[in-house]
């Protein structure tokens, strides 16, 4: 099950994690975010624990989002061993695009 994080816990939960971490920047007023959420929550199970999935509510972490240059929702950041390796963003983003990015990085 994906875990909720904040700007304060980002370093510990994402940057200090080994392996792949998918960070879902979402907002309660973001229709595309809410539409993707059920499928995103299944990704950790689908990738057999090769990917840690965390969610960050942008409406509660505005300054942190600005510092990360997350300017639109939904935005997904993919970290590998503490470094950002991919960034996907936009209202037309599909779960297939997210899956493809994770698969490519896992290869």
Q: Match 């990015």 to its residue by tokens.
A: 101
Which residues are marked as active site? 30, 33
Cα gap 67→57, rounded to integer Å: 15
Beta bridge partner(s), residue 3 = 54
Cα gap 96→98, rounded to integer Å: 5
């Amino acid at each position: 099950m994906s875990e909720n994080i904040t700007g304060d816990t980002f370093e510990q939960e994402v940057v200090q994690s080994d392996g792949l971490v998918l960070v879902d920047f979402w907002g309660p007023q973001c229709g595309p975010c809410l539409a993707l959420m059920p499928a995103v929550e299944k990704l950790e199970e689908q990738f057999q624990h090769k990917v840690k999935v965390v969610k960050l509510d942008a409406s509660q972490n505005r300054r942190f989002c600005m510092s990360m240059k997350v300017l639109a929702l939904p935005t997904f950041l993919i970290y590998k061993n503490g470094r950002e390796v991919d960034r996907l963003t936009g209202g037309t983003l599909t779960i297939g695009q997210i899956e493809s990015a994770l698969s490519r990085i896992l290869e």
